[in-house]
A and B are shown apart, each in its own frame.
Chain A
Amino acid sequence: MSDLSDTAQEVHDDLSEHVDATVDDVEARLEKLVTEYKVPVDEARRSVENHYLDEAGLDRDDLAGGGGNDTVEVEDVDEAEQWVDITAKVVELWEPRSDSVGQVGLLGDPTGTIKFTKWAKSDLANLEEGKTYRLGNVVTDEYEGRYSVKLNKTTTIEEVDEEFEVGDNEDEVEGALVDVQSGSGLIKRCPEEDCTRVLQNGRCNEHGEVEGEFDLRIKGVLDDGTDVHEVIFDEEATEDLTDIGLEEAKQMAKDALDTTVVADEMRAKILGKYYRVTGPTFGRYVLANETTLLDDQPDPESVLIRARSM
């Protein structure tokens, strides 16, 4: 039964910080379940762990921080729902939009920046802007192709003394906005948890007919005459770009009894103008973080010199 004693050793190691039990103790419990009650080893392990956790008044979540996470850099975050450790500097703190959020902002390491959210109910210490922390056991998340990390009540926060230049994982594209694609303007998203798919005629591909939630989005094309770049503007970026916010857009649609008036109005405002957009690239899209209208006077002189020298 060396299998069982190995398992017992592992369980003991995982729990040792929290639980006062010997390896023999653990093995005896496992053995009883496996040999007497014919419980599969995995299930027996679960059961024994739960027993000790109950005894110590802990949740399984409290264990997750006990090591075993990958330590990642910002640029490595490319999958949602991964438990990871990360060392990063607090680049910016933002105003939380919801009471459930304790802190929200931007973390950065030498490879780039990533949004973080700390839940209010996590009861963690506040992070300070400009300080660097080692964050143990944060969970990755993704929304519209943009990754973030979430600090939860199992997260460990340790201030560290590391100096580095925060990296830039953003791309910069510019050109004339030559197209506003379908699916832009005032859209409705599926309200199901973690779905957020854009509805087509009131239907979600996954959840069928649902009562959608309004959102603003623009899928645009920037073209500099050599390359094309598809850009997604989220609600905030769309309002920046068009000066039309969600409430105004809803009112426009209500007055016209038609949501497409919003995209039409936006097209009239932005098509044919030149913009510079910075943001991370996700698949074929650049996600607009910052958008600048390029309306300064161009300088023809260098081009003129070039033309004359040919």
Chain B
Amino acid sequence: MSGAPTREVARRVFAAEFNDATFTFKESDDERAPLYALLPTGERSNRVFVAGTLTETEDIGEDSEYWRGRVVDPTGTFFVYAGQYQPEAASTLRDAETPTYVAVVGKPRTFETDDGSVNVSLRPESITMVDEAVRDRWVVEAAERTLDRVEAFDEEGNEYAERARAEYGEDLSAYRQAVLDALEDFDTEADVPADA
């Protein structure tokens, strides 16, 4: 372990796929090694960048403030949790007037619910208010990056695709459909003929 660690890329992933990324792993036994969520389309993700609509915020903490925000994209909802260790993000959620467009940089985290199922959430490094242009650009970008992963899924030597296949199976049609839904939902003047 020498040299400066390189910064982890922030993946672009729609909520529909993010919330399915229940399998997490580390690449080494080192306690401080980064934690990755395995995306079903075959990529590891230690960080994501999301832009969407913050629709609700709620302080669900008992002893101290613990904020939950719902950030919605065209395919589903990201659950963002911020407490005392994310003071800036927590105060952004506290002060936010919903609905509003936000950009979130954060880390995927999983937790087990009482009924034993695994939920995926987002621990924010930052949350900022943005405008619709950012959100629109993100939707198209997330669509492209998702298609990139889907295309690379069957490539030989794609280590994370192999692991995803083992963990989640090889049917990616839901994520391709999420891309279609997100883009067809797009409110542009350049309406695309529905020939698909």
Contact = CB atoms under 8 A, between A and B. Distances in A.
Interface of A: 176, 178-179, 221, 223-228, 230, 267-268, 271-274, 294-301, 303-304, 306-308, 310
17 contacts: A179-B105, A225-B141, A228-B6, A228-B10, A267-B126, A272-B128, A272-B130, A272-B134, A297-B188, A299-B140, A300-B143, A300-B183, A304-B183, A307-B147, A307-B179, A308-B195, A308-B196
B90 to A, nearest CB: 14
A304 B180 contact: yes
Given A178-B49, A272-B126, A294 B176 contact: no
Q: Counting chain B CB atoms within 10 Å of each CB, which of A228, A268, A300 scores highest? A: A300
B32 interface: no
Interface residues of B, number: 46
Contacts of A296: 133
A274 B137 contact: yes
A303 B183 contact: yes
Interface string B8-45: 11111000000000000000000000000000000000
A310 B140 contact: no
Nearest to A176: B49
A306 B134 contact: no
Interface of B: 6-12, 47, 49, 51, 102-105, 125-126, 128-131, 133-134, 136-145, 147, 150-151, 176, 179-180, 183-184, 186, 188, 190, 192, 195-196
Given A273-B130, A310-B151, 16 more contacts: A176-B49, A225-B10, A225-B49, A226-B9, A228-B9, A271-B103, A271-B128, A273-B103, A294-B137, A297-B136, A300-B186, A303-B140, A303-B147, A306-B144, A307-B183, A310-B176
Given A295-B133, A296-B133, A301-B192, A225 B103 contact: no
A4 B103 CA distance: 75
Chain A to chain B: the 4 pairs with minimum beta-carbon distance, closest first: A272-B103, A298-B140, A295-B133, A225-B12
Nearest to A270: B128
Contacts of A273: 103, 130, 134
Contacts of B130: 272-273
B71 to A, nearest CB: 12
A225 B50 CA distance: 11
Contact of B145 (A178, A179, A225, A295): A225
